[in-house]
Structure 1
Amino acid sequence: MTKLKLGAIQDEKSVRVTLELPATVHRDLVAYAEALAHETGQGVSEPSKLIVPMIQRFMATDRGFSRARRSS
């Protein structure tokens, strides 16, 4: 079995997903949003807005997932 990273698949319409994050993950997400705002000069109104781009980036760089997807 291939090692996979977490990710999301783009679809034409949005799908609402509700999830609970551990407090430590939420704190890290807030800290990441602050670091990103400092680096880019653009504030992020809600740290949860970072989740989709993070997941997309994660999947795009997951070689195991790319191989598995090509072979299916």
Structure 2
Amino acid sequence: MNHTRKLRLGPLPKTESMKLTFVCPTSLKAELDRYAELHAQAYGEIVDALTLIPHMLEAFMAGDRGFKKG
């Protein structure tokens, strides 16, 4: 049986982008890779962690009430 999970980060929109580089702990990279696998299962589109990170950050900032008030 296919158990589709509903993830907080939904299907990805098509957007214009800019390249950034950052350093993260290996444990975070592993979690990002795991999230990417679950995202692919949930939405049927294979994406990697690097594709998801900008959308995760955007969702985080959109949900930050302190940032929105500022």
What do you get for the CA RMSD once the two structures are aligned? 1.7
Give identity over the alignment, percent.
36
| Pairing of 1:3-14 with structure 2 (within 5 A) | 14=18
Matched, 1:27 2:30: yes
The 2-side partners of 1:51 and 1:59 are apart by 12
Report the Cα offset of residue 60 of structure 1: 0.7
TM-score in terms of structure 1 length: 0.68
TM-score in terms of structure 2 length: 0.70
Gaps of at least 5 residues in structure 2 are 1-15
Poorly superposed stretches of 4+, deviation over 4 Å: none
Count, aligned residues: 55
Gaps of at least 5 residues in structure 1 are 1-11
Change (3 A) 1:49 1:13: closer
Change (3 A) 1:42 1:19: same
Paired position in structure 2 for 1:37: 40
Structure with max Cα Rg: 1
Change (3 A) 1:13 1:20: closer
Paired position in structure 2 for 1:58: 60
Higher relative contact order (CA 8 A, sep 6+): 1
